[in-house]
Amino acid sequence: MSNPIYEGNDKYVFISYRHTEPDRTIARQVVQRLIQDGYRVWYDEELRYGPEWDEEVANHLLNAWLFIPFISKAYFESRNCVNELKTAWGEEKHILPFYTDSDGLPDYMPGWYKLNYSRMQSVFWLRAQHNSDKIYDDLYAKCEELEECKGSVTTKVESKAQTASKMPVRKEKQSSADKGFISLASLLKSKVQAINKKPVREDKQSLTNEDLLGAEVVSISKAQTESKRPVKEEKQSLTDEDLIDAKLVPILQVGDIVTFGTYPQTETGKGSTPIEWLVLAREGEKALLISRYGLDTIPYNDQFVDVTWETCTLRKWLNSTFISQAFTKKEQVAIAETDVDNSRNQGYSELKTNGGNNTQDKVFLLSYAEANRYLGVSWNKWSSKAQVSPTAYAKKAGVYTNTYYKTEEGKEAGWWWLRSPGSLLNHAALVFRDGSLRNYSVDAGSGCVRPALWVNLESDIF
């Protein structure tokens, strides 16, 4: 009978072991005892392969409070096990080595392990294998951090119901009309519209005073439809020059959804669909937009090497392939060239990783600081506002989702890249499927790309 696997937001133990005997049997016995004694434990119950499972293991490791590796000669012969051990060290996890094939520090330990781990408190299976109580007394005595992982257990089967109270309450999603969903081009063209249903002028010809009598400025924003304002009794005559000076640009509000550009979004990838964007900020006549959905799955960098935002291949893709495919030349003119800040204060302070040089980009990714400011992203904290679902095209291309993590719309959520570095320069920050901050290897290929850009609302193309 399998042991319940913890899935939740409290502190828990991550068990790392080689799926060979006797390590497998020993690890299972320890897991069973820990769970019986009331500890929250996550472990790889079965040997599974593939990038999705690698990601699942990595994300549970990054969130774990305590890391217990079951060390043996076979453990160091497993690339996955060694990667887990090195990642736990790099993430500064609490670590308690548990040796399965020796009663002291073995000779087979590699040099890097001796340097980092030889002086740690450890547990040795062979010292008390005939007295199981002594093993667990030793385990509990040597690891104070283990007590942080004790408490109510939410199992993998039970997690959806039992952890619901910890998740933000899902609000009923507003319809596109309620949120002011409209084409950005149409919105900006609709500078002046008469309440007597006069057609919107598409050209730039002069407007007479008679045209302006009884007219009103129409703006479409979140939770606002076309409401008729009372006509002012004093109808001043406005010249064309007055109208130009007034800069009657419709008001885009933070939280509005607009469309701008096109990109493949169906499962077949045929044709192009208008891209929906969420308005994150307004500065004068500029607006910061981020794609509403994950549009594609592209690694942060195509090789597992040290990179920054300046040098990664994803930046090059966004500002060459993507921008050319998604926008016409006239639309590209409306996208502002942005001074992108990659300084340390844009990344997560606890990681202390250099973000590289600042850049100038038309299309970019949010930094951790921006994702925190606009979407409430923070380390190991659920944020429904930051969750995103991939398009059918992106999911078909390889974005990984599961039924446990869903957006406010009830769609399966995927994780998405940030431009900030991770714990190492071969890792990059990301927003996990629960909306929290994580980091992962730069060559990972199962996450979403959510482009961000600033648009000039006074661009001539509109």
Q: What is the pLDDT of residue 234?
A: 43
pLDDT band at 127 (very low <50, low <70, confident <90, very high): confident
How confident is the model over 261-294, as pLDDT tens digits?
Answer: 999 999 998 888 999 999 999 998 899 999 999 9
Measure the CA dihedral 390/392/398/402, to 10°.
60
Task: Check residues 193 and 140 and name the one with the higher pLDDT.
Answer: 140
- Is residue 176 over pLDDT 50? no
pLDDT band at 232 (very low <50, low <70, confident <90, very high): very low
Q: What is the pLDDT of residue 228?
A: 40
Closest CA to 129 of 19, 48, 29, 228: 29
Task: Check residues 273 and 214 and name the one with the higher pLDDT.
Answer: 273
CA-to-CA distance for 101 and 264, rounded, in angstroms? 54
Average pLDDT over residues 332-344: 94
Contact 384, 168 (CB under 8 A): yes
How confident is the model over 90-113, as pLDDT tens digits?
Answer: 888 899 999 998 888 888 888 878
Q: What is the pLDDT of residue 173?
A: 38
How confident is the model over 401-454, as pLDDT tens digits?
Answer: 888 889 999 999 999 999 999 888 999 999 999 999 988 889 988 899 999 999
Measure the CA dihedral 80/81/84/87, to 10°.
-90
Of the segments 229-238, 357-366, 378-387, 398-407, which one has the largest average pLDDT value? 357-366
How confident is the model over 3-62, as pLDDT tens digits?
Answer: 678 888 899 999 999 988 899 999 999 999 999 889 999 998 765 555 566 778 888 999
Q: What is the pLDDT of residue 130?
A: 60
The CB density around residue 432, as the number of other CB atoms within 10 Å, is 26
How confident is the model over 342-378, as pLDDT tens digits?
Answer: 998 888 877 778 899 999 999 999 999 999 999 999 9
Work out the mean pLDDT of the chain and round it to a whole number.
Answer: 78
DSSP state string for 107-153: TT--HHHHHHHTTS--EEGGGSTT-HHHHHHHHHHH-GGGGGGBS--
Q: What is the pLDDT of residue 156?
A: 43
pTM above 0.75, yes or no: no
Residue type for position 351: L
pLDDT band at 191 (very low <50, low <70, confident <90, very high): very low
pLDDT band at 213 (very low <50, low <70, confident <90, very high): very low
Contact 269, 211 (CB under 8 A): no
- Is residue 216 over pLDDT 70? no
Q: What is the pLDDT of residue 352?
A: 76
Contact 437, 378 (CB under 8 A): yes
Phi then psi for residue 73, to 5 deg, are -60, -40
- Is residue 249 over pLDDT 60? no
Q: What is the pLDDT of residue 219?
A: 36
The tokens for 175 are: 């319809």
Q: What is the pLDDT of residue 360?
A: 97
CA 265 to chain centre: 19
**Cα end-to-end distance, the chain, whole Å:** 65
Burial track 242-276 (b if 16+ CB lie within 10 A, e otherwise): ebeeeeeebebeeebbbbbbbbbbeeeeeeeeebb
DSSP state string for 393-440: HHHHHT----SSSB-TTSPBPB-EEEEEE-SSTTEEEEE-TTS-EEEE
- The full set of domains in the chain, from first to last, is 13-166 (3.40.50.10140), 193-246 (no CATH), 257-456 (no CATH)
CA-to-CA distance for 205 and 253, rounded, in angstroms? 28
- Could you tell me what percentage of the chain is helix, strand and coil, using 3-state DSSP and rounding each to the nearest 5? 30, 20, 50
